[in-house]
Amino acid sequence: MNTAVFGPLAWSVLQTTPRIAPFRSPHATELETSAPQAQAAYTERDDVRETLNVFYQALPYLIPCRWCRASCTRFVECISAYKWLQRPPRLTRGGTEYWMYLVHNLVNQKLDKRWYTDKALVYDGAVWASRDAYLCALLEWLTVVLCDLPIGLLAVPPREHATEGVAFVSVDVARAALEQWARDVVAPRAHWLDEAQRDGVALMHVVNAHVAHAHARMHRADVRADQRYETQRGVVSERAWTRVAWAMLYIEHLARLLRMAPDDSGAPLGSARLPLVVEQPLADTWRRKRHALADALHAWIAERPETFLTRDAAQRALHDARATVFPNTCPPFAQACSVVQAHYNPPAPAPPTVVGQ
Ligand SMILES: Cc1cc2nc3c(=O)[nH]c(=O)nc-3n(C[C@H](O)[C@H](O)[C@H](O)COP(=O)(O)OP(=O)(O)OC[C@H]3O[C@@H](n4cnc5c(N)ncnc54)[C@H](O)[C@@H]3O)c2cc1C
């Protein structure tokens, strides 16, 4: 995975998201605003808190790079998401942005880069200025995440796995497990946040407990499955299942966030944008597009969770969602996939220095 390509894309999405979330301005309490300067804008809504926490606490499972995931787990514990994003009854936009800024600084520190000391100076430079650009970046980010998920789980595994004691499940059992998980994920108000708040732990730990339980349930169901039928079988490791399960939860919560986002005056989200390739914005409104994308993402998770059985099907489902929002500019499937390849290719080697010219 090419961190230099996926990294700026991921940061721009992560850092722009608080600006589309429904924080309420303290100055005009009847209005919600997404103007970036409204740092003190706050929310007391549990659904907003839950969605933002899923969004940020999913990071250690979804970033498409193994080493980044490992260190991100520590950083999210260190700049405690529980303490700063989950526990406060009043969550501010400024607080959410500051948390993200600190996590970014920890990653910078790991990479021996600069430790920024002025959030205002650096942050806006990595926030999309337009809502269209944000949606495009979000879709590209989701595609990158999906491409890296360890799915295609049910390709028939090599025979030697059998002797290593790796558990197998049939396609039918895995499909049923995905359907059950999708029902849990789309439940209107997840009980997980309440559970996490009651126990005083980060939401990610509660989600992980449910994910592990669902994995164990799948294997128990497979043992009980009628072995008289010869079905295609594959391996669903707990690690793979965990990442797929988080991806489904993440996508459903993105849909919720897009539904909740305010229709504000159209003030730019940030003052600058990263040099990413974006589609031409349509003349359509932000409201129509965000609802169209939210509906498409939600319908995918709720009605077609089995698409997570293979990577190609999952990518196609996301591409369908993209075509719904950007019908005129959505590239053909193959072309969209090739754009994502850039995130995987290693950086080109520096040209050799020619001495004496
Ligand atoms: C969650 C996460 C974890 C990662 N972990 C790793 C890892 O372990 N190893 C690895 O090699 N790469 C990792 N990356 C990628 C890495 O962070 C960079 O994106 C990549 O190295 C490219 O760096 P860049 O110089 O283009 O700027 P980036 O770090 O991508 O930053 C983009 C822009 O954001 C702004 N910016 C910089 N710092 C901050 C800040 N603190 N707050 C707000 N804005 C800021 C600057 O304007 C900068 O140009 C990770 C990315 C993410 C999203």
Q: Is the C-beta atom of 88 inside 6 A of ligand 1?
A: no
Position with higher pLDDT, 317 vs 34:
317
Is 16's pLDDT higher than 50?
A: yes
pLDDT of 276:
53
Q: How far is the CA of 121 from the centre of ligand 1 (A)?
A: 15
Q: How far is the CA of 126 from the centre of ligand 1 (A)?
A: 10
Q: Is the C-beta atom of 101 inside 6 A of ligand 1?
A: yes
Q: How large a percentage of the chain has pLDDT more than 70?
A: 80
Other CB atoms within 10 Å distance of the CB of residue 232 = 11
Q: Is the C-beta atom of 1 inside 6 A of ligand 1?
A: no
Q: Where are the beta strands (DSSP E) in the chain?
A: 42-43, 91-92, 168-170, 233-235
User: Over the stretch 46-94, which tens digit does the pLDDT of each residue have?
Assistant: 999 999 999 999 999 999 999 999 999 999 999 999 999 999 989 999 9
Nearest to 205 by CA among 192, 218, 216: 192
* Euclidean distance between CA atoms 72 and 57, whole angstroms: 10
* Euclidean distance between CA atoms 182 and 284, whole angstroms: 31
Confidence of residue 183 (pLDDT cuts 50, 70, 90): very high
pLDDT of 273:
57
Burial class (CB in 10 A: 0-12, 13-18, 19+), 153: buried
Q: Helices 238-260 and 171-186, interaxial angle, to 10°?
A: 30
User: Over the stretch 22-35, which tens digit does the pLDDT of each residue have?
Assistant: 988 776 554 555 56
pLDDT of 79:
95
Pocket test for ligand 1, best of 107, 124, 144 (most atoms within 8 A of CB): 107
For residue 16, what are its two tokens? 């722009």
Q: What is the CA radius of gyration of the chain?
A: 21
Confidence of residue 150 (pLDDT cuts 50, 70, 90): confident
Is 295's pLDDT higher than 90?
A: yes
Which protein residue has the closest C-alpha to ligand 1 atom 9?
68
Q: Which atom of ligand 1 is nearest to the CA of 15?
A: 43
Backbone angles phi, psi at 250, to 5 degrees: -60, -45
Confidence of residue 151 (pLDDT cuts 50, 70, 90): confident
* List of domains in the chain: 3-149+243-341 (1.20.120.310), 160-242 (no CATH)
With beta carbons less than 8 A apart as the criterion, state whether 33 and 25 touch: yes
pLDDT of 109:
96
CA dist 117 to 12, 78, 101, 123, 127, Å? 19, 18, 10, 11, 18
pLDDT of 229:
53
User: Over the stretch 267-291, which tens digit does the pLDDT of each residue have?
Assistant: 778 876 555 555 444 445 888 899 9
Position with higher pLDDT, 155 vs 103:
103
3-class secondary structure, 24? strand
Polymer length in residues for the chain: 357
Position with higher pLDDT, 108 vs 275:
108
Q: How far is the CA of 14 from the centre of ligand 1 (A)?
A: 11
Position with higher pLDDT, 222 vs 231:
222
Neighbour-count burial for 24-34, b at 16+ CB within 10 Å, e otherwise? bbeeeeeebbb
Q: Is the C-beta atom of 111 inside 6 A of ligand 1?
A: yes
Pocket test for ligand 1, best of 61, 104, 250, 343 (most atoms within 8 A of CB): 104
* Euclidean distance between CA atoms 201 and 87, whole angstroms: 9
